[in-house]
Structure 1
């Protein structure tokens, strides 16, 4: 191996070796040199195929942020993989997402981090640029995974600088939830699908069902997710196609925020609704209609006597669009030091992906077509209903640092507008100026 080989070149060669692309042990040894660990150069097929691993015993560190109700679902799947693959011990470490993204880069660089991890779609480019994670094109090809196996929107979103850095596990969009008992009392047949129907339903809920505030608009989470959906519905976007400039202060952005703000102004929503307070109100049946993540479905199920249904986010603008994110499997640079770990990681990713119907039950939409098209998935009423939104999903551009721009810019502007602290256009303009500065700084920081 050349002394000037980069970590990415090394990871590519080791990945190829783990798939048996380098058939003889001597071929990989010649590349890796004498520093290769014992068993680092297995013969072709020694690691099994697909979701099995038959190489030497190996421990695999798997980190994620599944600290909520989704955690036990993933823990069970990890345990089942370990039983099916006795030569692999996958240990799962769960952190709050904020701590996770702060700790992973340093932990990986010190060799004390994850070998395999989960990252949201807007974090892939950042961690690729920081050399925390490695390209997975060979993982995808080794598992014979192509775009045709996944929802196209999530498959393409995992690419940065023409290389794939994520194998998508799921898509989790906003959903539209309604209190069906209150809607029936108001004379509304089903959840409305468009602007006229939505506004009429809110009015009927007030006048006929006696619900004082049928649609609570939060000042924080998930208001900026609602804004993202709406601005795209009105023909705009948060950023331009390259992620180089903020565009959320467009006419579409103004119209989106004015529509949200109108429910506070006309009394359909209380003022100063705090983070997730609308979800508490929905549980208490004080809020008849709410937009929230698909993952909330299991929370609603826990509430006795709450009659509810789910539907696609209504089309308030000219075209359907909905915010969503996605959990993706990643492999870290730490794992490239041992081809056994790479092979075990491949098997683990394949195993969970193929069985993501179990993950769907945690309140997720499987990214894999074969799982979504199964009879078992179609029996999951909420998940299959919200999966109909996949053609309308919007993701942020694949640009390093893009995930860090949200909170201090348009999320802050949405908060100020909802609270009545600033006028719509002024708040969006100020935030867009700050976002442009941050995007420019990110280009220099990541040399993108």
Structure 2
């Protein structure tokens, strides 16, 4: 499927995405014939009887129509395979999927965020995909190390990476120019960033609105903790480390922005992003999905770049969509073979998927001239070697509720950063202990 055919299939598609929305061309390197055992079926063709595959995902934002166009194109090119896509909110997806699999009514193929793989693997909701990776001729050399490794749990692969979607640095060029700053040279280190915030303050602008919410405050805080040389957990995910000095310094930097009048004190959900669009602020750290949102705003002069290095170490939060195959009561070998073909085919179109606001997982695609023409996505792809993901520990997501609470308390000025982080770490530590017992049964 060529880019022209893809764009024709999507038509005049509106690509704006909501904040809660979250490799190459038609013959990507590393996606050809199987390299596994001789008995392993090929991943590029399916010659069996007609099958229908159920494909579930949570692409309810602007990325949804792009994936639907890919599914439609796949169906038109494969007479003996029909993929039926079901889309629901991510929260509903993750709550419904385990029950559907247990009852024997789960989908054949799904999309899962990388931080959910280990939990669902431990619950036997999804199946190991080492044989699928072999059939697709996938290997670590064509992926960023962090995203490839994060797809493994307990020595087996459970996710086939489709993309990464990192946090990025968006800036309003007109606001910068009005404050006497260079709109083509945004600040990229702590000293210049704080100097710019001071200049914007003098011009009557709160330059960086600090969000107390998961979108995008939690992602900002996580990025800052890593930049200051800290971490959220130890390497094996058995201990919480966000109450240590680097995390305190990172959260204090966010709170100081409020105390110094660089940010309002009570920023509502999504208000930071809206303020950038309305010319009320200069900087917004937001997800790559925000690119298409800003493209829809008529007359807005904006730019995007990798995150500024505030703490001294380059680092950025990122998520990743992975293909998964669910555990089946009565596995159908024909469906399993067809699912391999579908996953392989979509992976080969990941340059087209990037149009929806993603960075392809495959290095060979990110480095292609065609991807570099997607200048905004390519700008954020520069971060790929220092993106961070949580450790592959079942139930790790439970701890983030406490992390987000600490952020909320500190940024809303109801608790000092050190106290907020310490209290949250104590609660999260108990959850990690409980989960070790729960998932070891």
Q: Indicate whether the TM-score tops 0.5.
A: yes
Measure the CA separation in 1 of the matches of 2:340 and 2:186.
42
Select which of 174, 188, 192 maps to 1:197.
Answer: 192
Task: Tell me the residue number matched to 2:167.
Answer: 174
Is 1:324 aligned to 2:318, yes or no? yes
Task: Tell me the residue number matched to 2:228.
Answer: 234
Is 1:162 aligned to 2:193, yes or no? no
Cα-to-partner distance string for 1:87-124 (whole Å, 9 max, x where unaligned) = 11100011101110000011011121211000001100
Alpha-carbon distance, 1:211 to partner: 4.1
Alpha-carbon distance, 1:291 to partner: 0.2
Alpha-carbon distance, 1:334 to partner: 2.1
Measure the CA separation in 2 of the matches of 1:118 and 1:295.
17
Is 1:392 aligned to 2:386, yes or no? yes
Q: Residue 19 of structure 1 contacts residue 343 of structure 1 at CA under 8 Å; is this kept in 2? A: no
Select which of 86, 92, 100 maps to 2:85.
Answer: 92
So what's the TM-score if we normalise by structure 2? 0.89
Local SS of the residue matching 2:164: strand
Cα–Cα, structure 1 residues 223 and 20, in superposed 2: closer, same or farther, change >3 Å?
Answer: closer
Superposed counterparts of 1:191-340, under 5 Å: 191-207=186-202, 210-220=203-213, 221-334=215-328, 337-340=331-334
Measure the CA separation in 2 of the matches of 1:147 and 1:72.
30
Alpha-carbon distance, 1:148 to partner: 1.1
Measure the CA separation in 2 of the matches of 1:151 and 1:20.
22
Q: Residue 175 of structure 2 contacts residue 281 of structure 2 at CA under 8 Å; is this kept in 1? A: no
Q: Residue 211 of structure 1 contacts residue 286 of structure 1 at CA under 8 Å; is this kept in 2? A: no
Measure the CA separation in 2 of the matches of 1:274 and 1:201.
23
Measure the CA separation in 1 of the matches of 2:150 and 2:136.
19
Measure the CA separation in 1 of the matches of 2:250 and 2:36.
53
Is 1:435 aligned to 2:428, yes or no? yes
Alpha-carbon distance, 1:184 to partner: 2.4
So what's the TM-score if we normalise by structure 1? 0.88
Question: Which 5+ residue runs of structure 2 have no aligned equivalent?
Answer: 1-33
Which is bigger in relative contact order (C-alpha 8 A, separation at least 6)? 2
Question: Which 5+ residue runs of structure 1 have no aligned equivalent?
Answer: 1-17, 24-43
Task: Tell me the residue number matched to 2:356.
Answer: 362
Alpha-carbon distance, 1:186 to partner: 2.6
Cα-to-partner distance string for 1:406-431 (whole Å, 9 max, x where unaligned) = 12x11100000000111111111110
Superposed counterparts of 1:120-135, under 5 Å: 120-135=113-128
Cα–Cα, structure 1 residues 264 and 87, in superposed 2: closer, same or farther, change >3 Å?
Answer: same
Task: Tell me the residue number matched to 2:142.
Answer: 149
Local SS of the residue matching 2:48: coil
Local SS of the residue matching 1:309: strand
Measure the CA separation in 1 of the matches of 2:35 and 2:220.
43
Q: Which has more radius of gyration? A: 1
Is 1:82 aligned to 2:75, yes or no? yes
Runs of 4+, deviation exceeding 6 Å: none
Q: Residue 168 of structure 2 contacts residue 285 of structure 2 at CA under 8 Å; is this kept in 1? A: yes
Alpha-carbon distance, 1:188 to partner: 2.4
Q: Residue 151 of structure 1 contacts residue 367 of structure 1 at CA under 8 Å; is this kept in 2? A: yes
